Amino acid sequence: MIQIIPAIDIIDGKCVRLSQGDYNQKKIYNENPLEVAKQFEDHGIKRLHLVDLDGAKSSRIINYKTLETIAANTNLVIDFGGGLKSDDDLRIAFESGAAMITGGSIAVKNPDIFASWIIKYGAEKIILGADVQHNMIAINGWQESTELNLFDFLQSYIDKGISKTICTDISKDGMLQGTATELYKEMKQRFPLLCVIASGGVATMLDIEQLNADRIDAVITGKAIYEGSISLQDIANFIR
């Protein structure tokens, strides 16, 4: 069964959401991310996708104290991303309680260091971030397009040992208009052993049920929960 992974995006220590990665379209949902994380845990959720948006903008880890607080006060398995660019950033993230980290821009701009993390920490702890627009990889908070095709990018890192990817369709993210189901199906068909984590566009439980029917491994959802189109009780019922 598909794993549902709620997202908490952090700016200034607060739980926010952006639309299509635009920092000017920021909405604050809760000033206490731990409170949100505990609500997730209370409804049977096991995983959390925690994104340091300040870190993504600054190209270094910023909100590690928020990570530390959530990790110390819940049993959630946290994957942490946003601005992780150096060995020191990773050390801080793991010491602060991350079970896994996600790297996207770094995997494009400095593949040698990203590949070294896979070797050092193991594929279970390193998730490849693949943010796409029209099947091409975008980086730096989606502000920069590349000439890298998604499937070539994934293959290159599967060859280096990566086993999990979070793929976000930028055009869908934060829009509550449905997910890129055909894209995820194609990823799973091409790379059946790759753990595909869908991200972006989830609007209702029907979207999650469709991804489940398509045998997608996991799905990240944020705005749908915060806007109330998916309730935590819906997720609890689905998990049961």
Residues taking part in catalysis: 9, 131
Q: Could you tell me if 162 and 129 are in contact, meaning their C-beta atoms sit under 8 angstroms apart? A: no
Instruction: Give residue for tokens 């639309």.
Output: 19
HSE-up of 101 (CA within 13 Å, CB side)? 32
Q: Which two tokens stand for residue 144?
A: 């920069």
Bridging pattern class, strands 126-133 and 47-52:
unpaired
DSSP string across 57-118: HHTS---HHHHHHHHHH---EEEEESS--SHHHHHHHHHTT-SEEEESHHHHH-HHHHHHHH
Q: Which two tokens stand for residue 43?
A: 């409804």
